[in-house]
């Protein structure tokens, strides 16, 4: 597994995690989000930067990803 980012916020109403990337992430990748009380895997179905859908994002970008479960700030995002 390769670390690709960290959660900085979670929008509970829409189930979206704000993630600051330290690696490259693309739609279709499988990610694992792990933290003190968080641990699950899912496919990246959609990704956005400032409400604009994108297919791929590079290190340094802040992206929004729809997540299947609740995440918390500082949870680590891995590419599986």
- Secondary structure (3-state) at 59: coil
Longest CA span, the chain: 31
Domains of the chain: 2-79 (2.40.30.10)
H-type helices in the chain, by residue range?
none
pLDDT band at 36 (very low <50, low <70, confident <90, very high): very high
Q: Over the chain, what is the mean pLDDT?
A: 97
Looking at residue 38, what is its pLDDT?
97
Residue range 4-18, pLDDT digits in tens: 999 999 999 999 999
pTM: 0.95
**pLDDT, average across residues 50-61:** 97
CB 62 within 8 A of CB 49: yes
């Amino acid at each position: 597994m390769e670390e690709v980012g960290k959660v900085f916020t979670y929008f509970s109403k829409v189930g979206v995690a704000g993630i600051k990337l330290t690696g490259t992430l693309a739609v279709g990748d499988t990610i694992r989000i792990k933290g003190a009380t968080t641990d699950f895997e899912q496919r990246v179905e959609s990704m956005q930067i400032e409400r604009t859908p994108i297919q791929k994002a590079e290190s340094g970008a802040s992206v929004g990803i729809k997540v299947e479960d609740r995440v918390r700030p500082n949870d680590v995002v891995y590419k599986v």
